[in-house]
């Protein structure tokens, strides 16, 4: 199609009977300028129409096309102008202009697809609330595919056999793989994270095997960046995630309250009433999930206390709100113990001395 446009322009110049290369050069530049102005006017009107629609795909497609098309018009004009000069003056550059033009067009096509993937990634993350990790992984693979396809197309345009390049790449891949096994293990570790999805960007994760705990900020091809709770960045090689246990507290359904309380031995006759009141309080609490296990029982004769425990789950998984609910539960337990005229025990010791020992001391 590009060659047809150039042939049409050459026929147009012949029909205008412009034999001087300076005149031809000026005509090409004027036509290029007119096309640029027409394209800019079309761009403004199209942008207004697209902004009125609710569909995201028209925004994505228009974003990917309009700027490369602008450069394509400029490329066509400049290449035609240079060809007019080169052919008129019989310069050697005229032999290379078609090749440069084809390569430039391939690069512009690759740029358009790159912009398409980039805009789609941004749109799906911001508006459609997709899984950020999955969208980012697909976008990275798509960009890598665009780079590989355009690179192979440029190599073929330069006259190099692609089959030979692929064969050489297969032999060299073994050598590179042996030399960069750590890099490849991190790459496959990233692929496992993207496929299995044990966590995503924004999740709070931790590992009992390693000193890893924090919020996932990004998942790269080599390392995953985690922001610890003291705000330090932690860079973890992806290959490590194939060897360790990873806990994802962000995906918990509830948070657990498990506490033990100790009463005095002299309050043994009040324990049953206290346990009953605490259980009723938990069953009526609006923030306690009644669908989960709820236990309130006398548990242990301790050294200086009679211990009972509560075991229940909150509806929320929010860390801050959970502690507010837990505080409310603990204060209500304290009020129940006080209302039952009992007291919490503290470590005490009793020393018994018989009368015979006292008489002996005298």
Which region among 9-18, 199-208, 311-320, 353-362 has the lowest average model confidence (pLDDT)? 9-18
> What backbone phi and psi angles, to 5 degrees, belong to 201?
-60, 130
**Per-residue exposure over 334-343, b if at least 16 CB sit within 10 Å of its own CB, e if not:** eebbeebebe
pLDDT of residue 240 exceeding 90: no
Average pLDDT on 220-225 reads 85
Query: Which H/E stretch holds residue 263?
Result: strand 255-263
- Predicted confidence (pLDDT) per residue in 259-309, tens digit: 999 999 999 999 999 999 999 999 999 999 999 999 999 998 988 899 999
- Tokens 């078609």 belong to 98
User: Of residues 318 and 93, which shows the higher confidence score?
Assistant: 318
Structural domain boundaries in the chain: 2-132, 182-250, 252-339
Burial class (CB in 10 A: 0-12, 13-18, 19+), 224: buried
- Predicted confidence at residue 16, as pLDDT, reads 46
Task: Record the pTM.
Answer: 0.55
pLDDT of residue 15 exceeding 60: no
- Predicted confidence (pLDDT) per residue in 223-232, tens digit: 899 999 899 9
- Predicted confidence at residue 330, as pLDDT, reads 95
Average pLDDT on 126-140 reads 69
User: Of residues 361 and 349, which shows the higher confidence score?
Assistant: 349
- Predicted confidence at residue 11, as pLDDT, reads 54
pLDDT of residue 130 exceeding 70: no
Q: Please give the share of the chain, as a percent, with pLDDT higher than 90.
A: 25
The closest alpha carbon to 87, from 10, 26, 27, belongs to 10
Per-residue confidence band for 162, with pLDDT thresholds at 50, 70 and 90: low
- Predicted confidence at residue 157, as pLDDT, reads 78
Q: What number of other Cβ atoms are within 10 A of residue 91's Cβ? A: 14
- Predicted confidence (pLDDT) per residue in 267-276, tens digit: 999 999 999 9
- Predicted confidence (pLDDT) per residue in 41-54, tens digit: 888 888 777 777 77
- Predicted confidence at residue 17, as pLDDT, reads 44
- Predicted confidence at residue 339, as pLDDT, reads 93
- Predicted confidence (pLDDT) per residue in 79-99, tens digit: 777 776 766 666 566 667 777
* Domain at 252-339, CATH class: alpha beta
- Predicted confidence (pLDDT) per residue in 58-73, tens digit: 788 888 888 888 888 8
- Predicted confidence at residue 358, as pLDDT, reads 61
> What backbone phi and psi angles, to 5 degrees, belong to 297?
-145, 150
pLDDT of residue 188 exceeding 80: no
Cβ contacts of residue 19 below 8 Å, gap of 6+?
none
Cβ contacts of residue 99 below 8 Å, gap of 6+?
157, 158
Q: Which CATH number fits domain 182-250: 3.40.50.10860, 2.30.30.60, 1.10.150.120, 1.10.1740.10?
A: 2.30.30.60
DSSP symbols for 192-254: HHHHH-S--TT-EEEETTTTEEEEEEEE-SSEEEEE-TTS-EEEEEGGGGGTS--B-GGG-S-
- Predicted confidence at residue 18, as pLDDT, reads 46
Per-residue confidence band for 329, with pLDDT thresholds at 50, 70 and 90: very high
């Amino acid at each position: 199609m590009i060659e047809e446009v150039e042939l049409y322009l050459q026929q147009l110049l012949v029909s205008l009977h412009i034999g001087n290369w300076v005149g031809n050069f000026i005509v090409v530049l004027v036509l290029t300028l007119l096309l640029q102005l027409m394209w800019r006017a079309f761009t403004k009107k199209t942008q207004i129409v697209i902004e009125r629609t609710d569909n995201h795909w028209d925004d994505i497609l228009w974003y990917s096309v309009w700027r490369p098309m602008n450069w394509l018009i400029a490329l066509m004009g400049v290449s035609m102008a240079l060809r007019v000069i080169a052919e008129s003056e019989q310069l050697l550059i005229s032999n290379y202009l078609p090749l440069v033009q084809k390569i430039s067009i391939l690069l512009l096509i690759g740029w358009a697809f790159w912009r398409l993937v980039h805009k789609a990634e941004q749109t799906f993350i911001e508006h459609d609330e997709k899984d950020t990790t999955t969208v980012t992984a697909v976008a990275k693979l798509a960009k890598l595919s665009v780079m590989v396809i355009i690179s192979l197309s440029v190599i073929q345009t330069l006259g190099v056999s692609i089959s030979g390049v692929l064969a050489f790449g297969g032999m060299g891949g073994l050598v590179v793989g042996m030399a960069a096994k750590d890099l490849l293990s991190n790459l496959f570790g990233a692929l496992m994270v993207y496929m299995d999805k044990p966590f995503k960007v924004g999740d709070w994760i931790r590992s009992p095997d390693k000193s890893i705990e924090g919020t996932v900020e990004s998942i790269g091809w080599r390392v995953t960046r985690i922001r610890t709770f003291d705000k330090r960045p932690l860079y973890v090689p992806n290959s490590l995630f194939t060897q360790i246990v990873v806990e994802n507290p962000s995906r918990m359904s509830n948070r657990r309250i498990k506490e033990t309380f100790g009463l005095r031995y002299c309050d043994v006759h009040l324990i049953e009433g206290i346990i009953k009141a605490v259980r009723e309080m938990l069953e009526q609490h609006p923030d306690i999930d009644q669908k989960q296990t709820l236990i309130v029982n006398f548990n242990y004769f301790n050294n200086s206390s009679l211990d009972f425990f509560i075991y229940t789950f909150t509806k929320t998984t929010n860390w801050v709100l959970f502690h507010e609910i837990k505080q409310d539960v603990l204060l209500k337990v304290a009020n129940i113990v006080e209302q039952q005229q009992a007291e919490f025990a503290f470590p005490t010791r009793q020393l018994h001395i018989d009368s015979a020992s006292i008489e002996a001391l005298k």
